[in-house]
Structure formats: C-alpha cells, structure tokens
Amino acid sequence: CLGYCETIEKLLGITAPPRAQYIRVILTELNRISSHLLWLGTHALDIGAMTVFLYAFREREEILKIFENYSGARLTTHMFRIGGTQYELYEGFQEQVKTFVNDFPKKVDEYETLLTENRIWIGRTRGVGVISAKDAIDLGLSGPSLRGSGVEWDLRKKKPYAAYADFQFDIPVGDHGDTYDRYMVRMEEMRQSARIVAQAVDKIPDGPLMAKLSKIIKPPIGDIYHSIEAPKGELGYYIVSDG
C-alpha cells in the first residue's frame, strides 16, 4: 500500500529513490484505472447495461496482466516496500504499459458512447443521490465522491507525494453532486490517469529501487511512535523493515 509506505517513510525521514517513485506512480495510476473500471462495470450492470460490464472488464484484464507480470499476483499485489519498490521492471514492461495507455482513451470513449447520452442512464443517475459540497465535506467523503460534489481537492495536486509533482494532469469536478456527476468525474479521472502514466513511462529514471535502510530503524522520540516491550525488558521505539 503506497499510503502506508509513504506514512512510514515520512515518519522515519526516508526518501525512496526517483526510479522507485516513478514506478510507484505508474502502478498506482494503473490500479486507479482498474478500480474505476470495476466500479463502472458493476454500476452499469446494476442499472441494466450488460455490455459496459464486458467492455470495462476487457480493459481491466490488460491491467491485471501487467500487475501479474510485475509482481506475480493479479489482485493481492505486493509491489511496494518501505523505502522503494520490491521488483525491477520486467522486460517489455514499458512497451506493454505504453500500448495500454495509448489505446485506453478510445475505450473510455466507447463507454461514454453507450452511457453518457443514454436516456435510461441519465434518467437513473441525474438528480439521484445528490450530495452538496458542504455535506460531502462534513461526511468526510474523499476521492471521486468528494470531487463529484464540486470540491476540487486531490492530494496528488494539493500535497504532491511520490513523483506526482513532475506530471501535468487535471482535477475533474462535478456541478450538482449527483450520481451522474460522480460517473462523469470517474470517467475523466481514468483519462487523466492514463495521461499521467503516459508521461511517467517515458521518463523512468535510472538508479536503485530501494533506499539504503537498516533492518531496525528507531524513529525520533517525541514525534509519532509506538511503544513496545523490547526483548531485554526495555521500552523501545522500533519499526522493522524488510528493506
């Protein structure tokens, strides 16, 4: 989990190497697309659009192939480590990713052709489940649900992490906070994710995948720590890394 790794790295003052940062961005954005495709396919299926389900899972399968080639797993992927990434890129990784992101925007257009102006889809999503910007904030919504209510908040822009500050992309937001807006936000987010990956895959830096770490690292006392019983009966503040 990138969020967990970055939290521990911030706590310990660790900076992952640039190569690892770019690989993290690429895999994270591909995972964002995969997640949105799962949402789109099942959401459309619930509303009665079987074809979109098949289309969405067609593209999702190509992403899962990349994950499997990289980590050996399709769903329970284990790609990130505290201090960097676990695996070096496999031969053909960049070409496979480029092929996907270059073709994917046309696939999103196909989804929209089937749904965006479809009167049944509009009738079942527009004006449904309206959440105001204030309510979205008060309820602690995040991601597309928050942005669908018109709140332009994205940590990749507002507080960039990994290598996101190196890339150009837009933050889509909704106007009405209804189900239709949340749909449109996710559709555009998939395009923006493909845009990020296309930029990153052409500029992956050379260098190591992992920062140099000790097996046991003692974080600063008085900041954020977890007190545990040390083997000799002494209290210690330890985070164990397999880096």
- The string over 50-80, giving b where at least 16 C-beta atoms fall within 10 Å of a residue's C-beta and e elsewhere, is eebbebbeebbebbbebbebbbeeeeebebb
In angstroms, rounded to a whole number, what is the distance separating the alpha carbons of residues 39 and 134?
25
| Alpha-carbon distance values, 39 to 27, 33, 45 (Å) | 18, 10, 10
Structural contact between residues 167 and 193, judged by C-beta atoms closer than 8 angstroms: no
pLDDT in the model for residue 139? 95
pTM, to two decimals: 0.87
DSSP code at position 223: S
Residue in the structure block whose two tokens are 């309820």: 139
pLDDT in the model for residue 221? 67
In angstroms, rounded to a whole number, what is the distance separating the alpha carbons of residues 177 and 148?
5
- The string over 20-47, giving b where at least 16 C-beta atoms fall within 10 Å of a residue's C-beta and e elsewhere, is bbbbbbbbbbbbbbbbbbeebbebbeeb
pLDDT in the model for residue 224? 55
Structure tokens that stand for 86 in this block: 């676990």
Terminal-to-terminal C-alpha distance of the chain: 15
pLDDT in the model for residue 220? 66
| Helix-, strand-, coil-residue percentages of the chain, each rounded to 5 | 55, 5, 40
pLDDT in the model for residue 228? 44
pLDDT in the model for residue 78? 83
The list of the chain residues with pLDDT below 70 reads 219-243
Please give the backbone phi and psi of residue 217, each rounded to the nearest 5 degrees, phi first.
Answer: -120, 135
pLDDT in the model for residue 59? 97
In angstroms, rounded to a whole number, what is the distance separating the alpha carbons of residues 36 and 158?
22
pLDDT in the model for residue 100? 97
Structure tokens that stand for 172 in this block: 């889509």
pLDDT in the model for residue 226? 47
Structural contact between residues 193 and 107, judged by C-beta atoms closer than 8 angstroms: no
